[in-house]
Amino acid sequence: MKATAAPDETDALARLREHEGALDRQLEKARAEAAALLAEARAEADRLRDVEAELAEQIDRLRREVEAELEAAVAARRDETARRIAALREVAARNRERALEWLLARVAAREKP
């Protein structure tokens, strides 16, 4: 009976070794895939950090540009306001002069006999 059991055991061991070898190959393949995915993820993380840094630089540059544009707009508005104030002062001075001339003319007309 042992003579017939030995080939069965040998076959079973051979099948187990084959199965173990297949599992080892699957494990190595899975490890290689995991390593490739990890490397890809790290590369993507590096790329994202680079993109993030580039975006931060662009945001900073745009912020400076907008700030400069706003400062220029405020300065232009300030200049325009100053010009308008000066023009209004000139108009007010002319109006005062004309009003004074008119009043003086009315007073002079009353004093004539």
pLDDT per position as a tens digit, 45-61: 999 999 999 999 999 99
Does the structure show a pLDDT above 50 at 9? yes
Q: What phi, psi does 112 have (nearest 5°)?
A: -75, 135
Range of the domain at 43: 14-83
Q: What is the pLDDT of residue 7?
A: 82
- The answer to whether residue 27 sits within a structural domain is yes
* The total number of structural domains that make up the chain: 1
- The answer to whether residue 50 sits within a structural domain is yes
Does the structure show a pLDDT above 60 at 2? no
- The answer to whether residue 2 sits within a structural domain is no
- State the average pLDDT for the chain: 94
Q: What is the pLDDT of residue 5?
A: 58
Q: Which residue has the tokens 């540059």?
A: 61
Tokens of residue 87, six digits:
């023009």
- The answer to whether residue 47 sits within a structural domain is yes
* CA–CA separation, 44 and 102 (whole Å): 85
Does the structure show a pLDDT above 60 at 70? yes
- The answer to whether residue 109 sits within a structural domain is no
- The answer to whether residue 95 sits within a structural domain is no
